[in-house]
Structure 1
Amino acid sequence: MSLAALQLAARCRQCSGTMRLLRQTPQRPFHHSAAVLARREKKPPALSKKQLAAKERKRAKKAPKNIYDSEKMTLTDAVEVLRAVEVASPNATYELVVKTEMGKGSTIPKGRFDLPRQTKEQTKDRILVFAEGRQAEEAKRAGADIVGGLELVEGIISGRHQATMFLCSRALIRPITPRLGRVLGPRGLMPSERRGTVTDDIAGYIRRLKGTSEWKGDKEGTIRQPIAKMYFPVTDVVKNIRYFLGVVKRATGNVRDPQVDSNKKETSQKPVNAITRVLLSTQQGPSIQIADA
């Protein structure tokens, strides 16, 4: 065999050995190597409360602003704008919309009010009172339409006794609750201590009701109320709105009534229905968000 053939055979054996080594499964555990471990993500260190608060403030600054923020007006400016829009409709009505949050455990906001200047003639409530003895006589003299004891329960269930408001003395609330709770409860008419319709001063409650109207929010916590007429002076419109907002804030817990808080414990206070937006509108005018509500 010539020298060239021997050299070629040696090179082929060397190449075949190299290929055989490459085909073998590597024994080195690459997933535990220092290079791979260095590339793995490290857990960020736990932030303190102060650092978390600073991070939240930065995020809030970068968050997009509400599109309605630039459309807010003061109450006086909003009234003037709506008066200009409705200049051809002097009998148009201002409508106030108050949006509240319905948090867990909160009830539908509800209450009564008496505007400084009424927008329309008030409807008279038909009052039914559960009372006996002296309380029943005082309720009749105060102007109650139907007064009686447990004998009225059957008439309410059958529909013979119709009323828009039900009052009850403390002595009779337990006997009537099992039978009337399912009838009056879904309609929001069941006497309740929280709403003040269960009381021993029934005559005083009826006297306070005279000349007042009821307001009530919907299931989403939105309150809509006609608040003034277009021909009212601006001062009267503003006075009506300020008064009604004060009533709503006290009823929803946004403003504490010192007279009520002095008689109640802090544990019995109602949860707050936070007011998120206050809007003023008319039939043909835009809905304007109030900045100084």
Structure 2
Amino acid sequence: MSLLNVALRCGQCRGPLGIFNPLARSFHTGQILLARQTKKVATPSKKMLAAKARRKSKTKKSIYDSEKMTLADAVSVLRAVEVASPNSTYELVVKTDMKKGTAIPRGRMSLPREPKAMSKDRILVFAEGRHLEEAKKAGADIVGGPELCDGIIAGRHRATVFLCIPSLLRAITPKLGRYLGPKGLMPSERRGTVTDDVATYIRRLKGSSEWRGDKSGVIRTPIAKLHYPVDDVVKNVRYFMNVVKRATGNLQDGKEKGKKENANKPSTAITKVILSSAQGPGIQISDA
């Protein structure tokens, strides 16, 4: 049979003019048929999603969760380990989930029973008028106006705390911002070191010590001595944790809840609280 006869008999192979076209025939592997054969993915029902969520909730927790202790138990264990060194110091480590752009947690505290001698702060105050006299009477080491800036940069005026009244902040910022800012010493309204009530702030500094976290948000501080009674250690830890929770936005006083600035302030989550000693292990606290 000739090719022309085949073309005349097969209608699929003929074009609109009856001319044979071998490429016009659609086989079973054509794009249209393959698209029809594609299976649709079934949408999971609510029951299936609920069952999947239950399976996830039954997954094993971290192996370290079983190693947590209450604060009182952790103190007792460390005292037993350090029985030969009663003068050792408890160290408290607080790990926070510090996100990008979050300020490093820091503040000041005065523990109910201090584990070490209080370090004396050297206080420099930028003030003028009556504030200058009040700062001197309160015990400030160096008091003056913007003329102190050059001496600070040159190293003639050294201090551990810098305070400033609001009216002088713009005058000192251009010169000292880049010098004191990276050191964390630049007066700031957020830290409370820019204030009109300089005398009250200085009196509060005299009986407190500073704490601060590192770049990763980990806070370390000596919290008590091994020979302290358990109740004293617990009081120190509870007090310090309240201070840290306020600084990280996890705890707010009743008066502060009404303020918009605190209501919009994002909180930095506290992930772990660990108590340790010189020779003892680090114990994660479950009720901190």
In our comparison, the structure showing a higher alpha carbon Rg is 1
- Mapped partners of 2:58, 2:260: distance in 1: 42
Asked if 1:272 corresponds to 2:243, the answer is no
| Structure 2 alignment gaps of length 5 or more | 1-21
* Maintained 8 Å contact 2:115/2:225: yes
- Mapped partners of 1:93, 1:119: distance in 2: 7
1:181 positional shift: 0.4
The aligned counterpart of 1:28 is: 27
The aligned counterpart of 1:116 is: 112
The aligned counterpart of 2:243 is: 247
- Judged with a 3 Å threshold, the aligned counterparts in structure 2 of structure 1 residues 70 and 41 are, in CA distance, closer, same or farther, namely farther
Asked if 1:229 corresponds to 2:228, the answer is no
- Mapped partners of 2:27, 2:211: distance in 1: 79
The aligned counterpart of 2:38 is: 40
- Judged with a 3 Å threshold, the aligned counterparts in structure 2 of structure 1 residues 32 and 83 are, in CA distance, closer, same or farther, namely same
* Maintained 8 Å contact 2:109/2:243: yes
1:65 positional shift: 1.9
1:56 positional shift: 7.4
1:32 positional shift: 4.1
The aligned amino acid for 2:136 is K
1:208 positional shift: 1.4
The aligned counterpart of 2:283 is: 288
* Maintained 8 Å contact 1:94/1:280: yes
User: Residue 68 of structure 1: SS of its match in structure 2?
Assistant: helix
After superposition, residues 69-88 of structure 1 pair within 5 angstroms as 69-88=65-84
After superposition, residues 1-293 of structure 1 pair within 5 angstroms as 27-32=26-31, 36-37=34-35, 40-45=38-43, 54=50, 57-58=53-54, 60-262=56-258, 264-266=259-261, 269-293=264-288
- Mapped partners of 2:52, 2:118: distance in 1: 50
| Structure 1 alignment gaps of length 5 or more | 1-23
- CA RMSD, 1 decimal: 2.4
- Mapped partners of 2:271, 2:133: distance in 1: 45
- Mapped partners of 2:117, 2:267: distance in 1: 32
- Judged with a 3 Å threshold, the aligned counterparts in structure 2 of structure 1 residues 176 and 136 are, in CA distance, closer, same or farther, namely same
- Mapped partners of 1:59, 1:105: distance in 2: 36
The aligned amino acid for 1:246 is N
Give the paired residue count.
266
* Maintained 8 Å contact 2:256/2:262: no
- Judged with a 3 Å threshold, the aligned counterparts in structure 2 of structure 1 residues 134 and 44 are, in CA distance, closer, same or farther, namely farther
User: Residue 57 of structure 2: SS of its match in structure 1?
Assistant: helix
Q: Percent identical across equivalent pairs? A: 64
- Mapped partners of 1:109, 1:82: distance in 2: 27
TM-score, L = length of structure 2: 0.85
1:98 positional shift: 0.4
The aligned amino acid for 2:27 is R
CA-to-aligned-CA distance 1:183-232 (integer Å, 9 cap, x gap) = 00000000000110001111111111121010000001000011010000
